[in-house]
């Protein structure tokens, strides 16, 4: 239940920010995509700061883990997808009509 309440709270906060900035909701596609990119980058800020505080190396973490999370798997990469990535659903071909 807590993730739902946190999501609602974040949504209300973003709605207030949209109102203050004069952006209509739902936002135009470009603004929405930039907002989603900001969410992905912001999500990675917490582990980076935790590593900085702990004195752990940060640059390799940003280049590997953060980049993969933000950009997704790159075409032609030699690494296999994460075990946490669910497999793509099978798509059945639509039924053919009679000729």
Q: Encode pLDDT of 10-60 as tens digits.
A: 888 988 888 898 887 777 788 888 888 888 888 888 888 998 999 888 888
* Alpha-helical runs (H) found in the chain: 2-21, 29-54, 59-61, 67-71
- pTM strictly above 0.85: no
How far, in Å, CA of 24 to CA of 10, rounded?
A: 17
Domain ranges of the chain: 8-71
DSSP 72: -
How far, in Å, CA of 75 to CA of 61, rounded?
A: 20
């Amino acid at each position: 239940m807590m993730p739902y309440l946190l999501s609602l709270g974040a949504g209300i906060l973003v709605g207030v920010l949209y109102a203050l900035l004069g952006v209509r909701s739902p936002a135009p596609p470009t603004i929405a995509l930039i907002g989603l990119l900001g969410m992905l980058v912001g999500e990675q800020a917490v582990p980076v700061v935790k590593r900085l505080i702990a004195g752990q190396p940060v640059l390799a973490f940003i280049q590997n883990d953060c980049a993969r999370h933000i950009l997704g798997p790159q075409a032609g990469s030699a690494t296999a997808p994460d075990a946490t990535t669910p497999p793509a659903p099978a798509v059945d071909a639509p039924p053919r009509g009679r000729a």
